[in-house]
Every structure is written in C-alpha cells, then in structure tokens.
C-alpha cells in the first residue's frame, strides 16, 4: 500500500490519483467536529473535495488498476462509515422525539395542556 501511494498514477484530467488516508481518529478530532456536516467530515477525513470523491466513485471498478481500485475502495469505506453514523444519529433523534412525545402525552394529556 505504501508503494502504491508513492508511485502516484495520473487520471485523464492530469490529476495525481492518491489513496486517501483518513486523518482523524479517536480523540484526535478538530474543534467543533460534532457540529460539522457529514460532507465536511468526509472532506476532512479524506483530504479530498466532494467533486474529487465523485470522480473516484464514478470509475468503473472492473476496469481499474490496483492503485485506483485501492483509492476508490478507501473513498467508499469512509463515505459509508460517515453515512452509517448519520443514519444512527437520525434514528436516535427520532426515537428521542417519540419518547418525549409519549412522556408529554402521559404527563399532560392528549392536548398537551394541563
């Protein structure tokens, strides 16, 4: 993998294809990380713009050399992980809202007034 990163392949536009390496792990997150949008998190993790990630994902996987396949796989992995975490957070928010509504109905009646 290190050799692939160092060799550098060039795509059709003349841009060097890099295998992105996630830059944030555990407690090593920048300030405000929890308030960042999913797109900002992915861009930061991979060090690539969303347009560049789209380019990587648009390559047909069956025609890629090992270097480009590794780069595409890394982008897919990080995007999928961030998307999964967003889904979990959304599910928790819906569940929290459902529980609060149930407690409110139980405490204050169906109309929400006392």
User: Which residues, listed in sequence order, are joined to residue 17 by a DSSP beta bridge?
Assistant: 9
Return the H-helix or E-strand segment holding 81.
Answer: helix 66-108
113 falls within a domain: no
85 falls within a domain: yes
pLDDT per position as a tens digit, 53-86: 888 889 898 888 888 888 889 889 888 988 898 8
Tell me what the pLDDT averaged over the chain comes to: 80
pLDDT per position as a tens digit, 4-58: 455 556 666 766 676 676 666 666 778 888 888 888 888 888 888 888 888 888 9
**Which residues form the domain of 99?**
2-108
User: Into how many domains does the chain fold?
Assistant: 1
Rounded Cα gap, residues 17 and 87, in angstroms: 30
Of the candidates 76, 70, 73, 58, the one whose C-alpha atom is nearest the C-alpha of residue 13 is 58
29 falls within a domain: yes
């Amino acid at each position: 993998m290190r050799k692939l990163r160092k060799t550098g392949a060039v795509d059709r536009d003349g841009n060097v294809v890099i295998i992105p390496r996630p830059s944030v792990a555990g407690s090593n997150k920048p300030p405000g990380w929890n308030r960042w949008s999913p797109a900002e998190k992915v861009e930061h993790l991979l060090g690539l713009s969303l347009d560049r990630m789209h380019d990587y994902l648009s390559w047909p996987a069956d025609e890629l050399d090992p270097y480009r396949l590794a780069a595409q796989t890394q982008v897919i992995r990080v995007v999928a992980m961030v998307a999964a975490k967003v889904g979990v957070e959304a599910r928790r928010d819906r569940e929290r809202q459902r529980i609060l509504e149930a407690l409110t109905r139980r405490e204050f009646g169906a109309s929400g007034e006392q």
